[in-house]
Amino acid sequence: MSYSGSPNDSGTWRNDGAMQPHAYDPDLHPELFRGVATRRVFAFLIDMIVISVPVILGYLFIALFGLVTLGLGWALFWLAWPASVIWAIVYYGACIGGPSSATIGMRVMDLELRTWYGAPGYFVLGATHAVLFWVTVSFLSPFVVLVGLFNGRRRLLHDFVLGTVVINNSIRAPVSQAARSW
């Protein structure tokens, strides 16, 4: 492998000796990263509400089912925690793996998750993104999110590890109209 660019290029190595540039350069398109850190916080809060509502309803159902079955239904409470974790992972995987590459909170805040080379998200990337976020915040403290304030792309630690970037989706270059044949 060889390096074919200058030391200031923002890209990575490729096996064919060429340099793969980042799809989103904060120097060329700073508008794609304007307000991303603040929007991510609000998107996270919205997603926590979206995830919490079915979990709370599930707990209420188990509690009422336990009353109706004279306490036997309360044995289902041991399933509630694993089901909540699985629900959150499936939610992030399905949303980021969907056509908009964004969770519901990210869509409300006009954010989109992309790979560093510009590809949209997919299910495994979305699920891994959520798990890695919770692992880094749990073990390294919530201050790990401050990493996003010190880089041009506003990437958090788990974004660096997974090779993802969150962009401001409200700012897009207009797509030119197709040529008319008449």
Residue 92 lies in a domain: yes
pLDDT band at 11 (very low <50, low <70, confident <90, very high): low
Q: Does residue 15 lie in a domain region? A: no
C-alpha–C-alpha distance, residues 3 and 57, integer Å: 55
What number of other Cβ atoms are within 10 A of residue 53's Cβ?
10
CA atoms within 13 A on the CB side of 40: 21
**Looking at the predicted structure, is the pLDDT value of residue 175 above 50?**
no
HEC profile of 107-118: HHCCEEEEECCC
What is the residue-averaged pLDDT of the chain? 84
Number of domain units in the chain = 1
Q: Does 17 reside within a domain?
A: no
pLDDT at 12: 53
pLDDT in tens, 49-62: 999 999 999 999 99
Residue reference for tokens 């699920």: 127
Q: Decide if 62 is inside a domain.
A: yes
Q: How confident is the model at residue 176 (pLDDT cuts 50, 70, 90)?
A: very low
Answer whether residue 124 is part of any domain: yes
pTM for the structure as a whole = 0.80
Q: Is residue 140 part of a domain?
A: yes
146: left (phi over 0), alpha (psi -120 to 50) or beta: alpha
Domain of 162, in residue numbers? 23-168
